[in-house]
Amino acid sequence: MKLKHALILLLLAGISASQAQMVTPEKVKVKGGEIVIQPITHATLVLTYQKKNIYVDPTGGAEAFKGLADPDIVLITDIHGDHFDLKTIEAINTTKAVFIVPQAVADKMPVTINKQKLVILNNGDKNMQLGMSIAAVAMYNLPGAPNANNHTKGRGNGYILVIGGKTIYISGDTADTPEMRALKNIDIAFVCMNLPYTMDVNSAAEGVLAFKPQVVYPYHYRGQDVNKFKSLVNAGNKNIEVRLRNWYPEAK
């Protein structure tokens, strides 16, 4: 009996720890209701609108999404494991999900994925899903940079979503590119920053100051000083709201 009791306590402790790790979601009022933004970890997040769920670069296994509804759309930006995690894709319930992916990811998708639910977007392509506009934009490291070969132009996608009248930019792994600087009318931006894979805090701040989103969340920032990023952005434009959230809840 003592052993059984101990096992029950361990199970409950594990559940509580898992639930405690999930960051409090953000809610943004839009036409038709609200968008719920749920940070998961690193480059992974979930957007919910009118009970439709968009999983962005799902990683972390099924446990990372405990308590969240199954995805209706899965967006994948690139082939690297912190964006394209086959174990997680196979662990979560994607039976009703449409996958929006670049060609390089489509080439690596398992045969178990229903190809009729696979939508391939190249840079510049657009698609409508569940009343939401999804556009693929270039994400890459700048030619000539030491990390240029990590992310070559045309392989991966950033995404621009229009949901409930709000325009949302998800950068994926990118440098401070001309395409990012040229973005217009972005309401909410998720912008990466971590060397040597993407860009440093200074470059991320300069890019954000160029395209002027109303709200920006630094994400994919492991090891970077996001408080410095906030200071740089606000020093350059006090009207851009920088929201710092914990994308690494497992860190002690």
Residue range 67-75: mean pLDDT, rounded: 97
In a domain, 7, yes or no: no
Residue 11 lies in a domain: no
- Examine the pLDDT at 20 and tell me if it is beyond 50: no
Q: What is the CATH number of the domain that holds 44?
A: 3.60.15.10
d(CA 189, CA 211): 10
* Residue 40, pLDDT above cutoff 70: yes
Residue 67 lies in a domain: yes
Counting the structural domains of the chain, the total is 1
Does 252 reside within a domain? no
Contact partners, residue 52, CB within 8 Å, separation at least 6: 72, 73, 130, 132
Residue 14 belongs to a domain = no
pLDDT band for 21, please (50, 70, 90 cuts): low
Determine, yes or no, domain membership for 1. no
CB 90 within 8 A of CB 61: no
Q: Is residue 200 included in any domain, yes or no?
A: yes
On whether residue 250 sits in a domain, the answer given is: no
Q: What's the pTM?
A: 0.90
Residue 188, domain extent? 23-242
